[in-house]
């Protein structure tokens, strides 16, 4: 069984492994169906998708007429204005074949200019509040990448009562003292206010090296050995109160499910074990100061 946890104060009991539906971005319906079946087989009950994830909303939407009640359904908007967010949400609901989503998230809100726009009188936050009042969304969250993300989430939480946050969490990121300090501060605030904390990049190894042909659909090079993935997932799940989003590659999803299922019966790895594995596997943090962008493979 995959352990569950209340998803903040939303009232939903979510599996601690969430399905990162970016894995469906390039799939046709017949390719996506077996991946989605894994959710039912494993009990994963929370889907996290986004308007910007290629075909992913359509692939999830193919499934929603028959399974809408089985899942907490979250999507994201990368628009910063009210009008842009309204247009994008309308399209997301159409693609997802539903009249509402359980969670709408401001996607990657980590830059100052975008933040100012989102919280302005004509910004996306104002529209999302209206959408919640209209029943189009039930809850509102915020996501982000990079080394500034935890600090920016704290800034966002000081401005608006978001119900979830999402950010990177793995051993190599937490080995950076400044990032770790910001993450710990954010986690304290979220636990005090019952804000759900979603984490990403648990199985990241490093950025693709120049000239490397990616062999997964993740924008970074992931861990691929089952033992290495299990160790990384168990380390992340060992942190009380957080959720782990699966990687954006369907081939890794089943391995991450198996890792989450075995978590309760295993001793989580110590930091010393993670550090040794990181050295042996040449693991590097995806984000360091001055290199916060997501670099998509060419």
Q: Along the 298 residues of the chain, how does pLDDT read in single tens digits?
A: 999 999 999 999 999 999 999 999 999 999 999 999 999 999 999 999 999 999 999 999 999 999 999 999 999 999 999 999 999 999 999 999 999 999 999 999 999 999 999 999 999 999 999 999 999 999 999 999 999 999 999 999 999 999 999 999 999 999 999 999 999 999 999 999 999 999 999 999 999 999 999 999 999 999 999 999 999 999 999 999 999 999 999 999 999 999 999 999 999 999 999 999 999 999 999 999 988 888 654 4
The CB density around residue 123, as the number of other CB atoms within 10 Å, is 21
Whose CA is closest to 173, among 292, 76, 267? Answer: 292
Do 136 and 93 touch, CB atoms closer than 8 A?
Answer: yes
**Separation of alpha carbons 89 and 132, rounded Å:** 12
pLDDT of 291 = 87
pLDDT of 295 = 67
Whole-structure pTM over 0.95, yes or no? yes
Cα 88 to its chain centre, rounded Å, is 19
The CB density around residue 39, as the number of other CB atoms within 10 Å, is 21
pLDDT of 292 = 82
pLDDT of 294 = 83
Rounded to the nearest 5 degrees, what angle is found at the Cα of 222, between the Cα atoms of 188 and 112? 45
Instruction: Give strand ranges (E) for the chain.
Output: 4-6, 13-15, 17-20, 46-48, 72-77, 101-106, 137-143, 164-168, 196-200, 204-207, 220-222, 242-245
- What are 220's strand-pairing partners? 207
Do 175 and 181 touch, CB atoms closer than 8 A?
Answer: no
**Separation of alpha carbons 58 and 143, rounded Å:** 21
Residue 149 structure tokens? 């993300």
pLDDT of 99 = 98
Residue 161 structure tokens? 């009562």
Half-sphere exposure of 130 (CA within 13 A, CB side): 12
**Separation of alpha carbons 120 and 250, rounded Å:** 38
pLDDT of 296 = 53
The CB density around residue 119, as the number of other CB atoms within 10 Å, is 18
Plot region of 54 (φ>0 → left; ψ -120 to 50 → alpha; else → beta):
left
Domains of the chain and any CATH numbers: 4-280 (3.20.20.100)
Q: Write the DSSP assignment of 205-262 as a string of letters.
A: EEEPPTT---SSSSSEEEP-SHHHHHHHHHHHHTSTTEEEEPPS-HHHHHHHHHHHHH
Which residues, 6+ apart, have CB-to-CB distance to 25 below 8 Å? 53, 54, 55, 56, 217, 248
Residue 139 structure tokens? 């809850």
**Separation of alpha carbons 2 and 59, rounded Å:** 24
What is the b/e burial string over 87-109, where b = at least 16 CB atoms within 10 angstroms of the residue's CB? ebbeebbebbbbebbbbbbbbbb
The CB density around residue 180, as the number of other CB atoms within 10 Å, is 14
């Amino acid at each position: 069984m995959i352990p569950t946890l209340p998803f903040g104060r939303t009232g939903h009991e979510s599996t601690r492994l969430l399905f990162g539906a970016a894995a469906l971005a390039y799939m046709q319906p017949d390719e996506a169906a077996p991946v989605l079946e894994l959710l039912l087989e494993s009990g994963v009950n929370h889907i996290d998708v986004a308007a910007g994830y290629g075909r992913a909303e359509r692939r999830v939407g193919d499934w929603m007429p028959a399974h809408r009640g089985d899942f907490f359904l979250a999507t994201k908007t990368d628009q910063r204005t009210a009008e842009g967010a309204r247009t994008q949400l309308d399209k997301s609901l159409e693609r997802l074949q539903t009249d509402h989503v359980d969670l709408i998230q401001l996607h990657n809100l980590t830059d100052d200019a975008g933040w100012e726009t989102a919280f302005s009188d004509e910004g996306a936050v104002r529209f999302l509040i209206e959408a919640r009042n209209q029943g189009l969304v039930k809850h509102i969250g915020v996501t982000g990448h990079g080394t500034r993300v935890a600090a920016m989430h704290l800034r966002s939480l000081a401005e608006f009562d978001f119900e979830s946050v999402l950010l990177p969490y793995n051993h190599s990121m937490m080995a950076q003292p400044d990032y770790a300090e910001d993450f710990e501060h954010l986690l304290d605030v979220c636990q005090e206010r019952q804000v759900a904390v979603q984490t990403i990049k648990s199985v990241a190894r490093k950025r693709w090296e120049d000239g490397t042909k990616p062999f997964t659909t993740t924008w970074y090079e992931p861990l691929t050995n089952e033992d290495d993935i299990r160790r990384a997932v168990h380390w992340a799940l060992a942190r009380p109160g957080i959720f782990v989003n699966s990687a954006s590659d369907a081939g890794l999803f089943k391995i991450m499910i198996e890792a989450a299922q075995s978590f309760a019966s295993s001793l989580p790895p110590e930091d010393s074990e993670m550090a040794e594995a990181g050295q042996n596997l040449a693991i590097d943090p995806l984000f360091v100061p001055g290199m916060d962008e997501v670099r998509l493979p060419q």
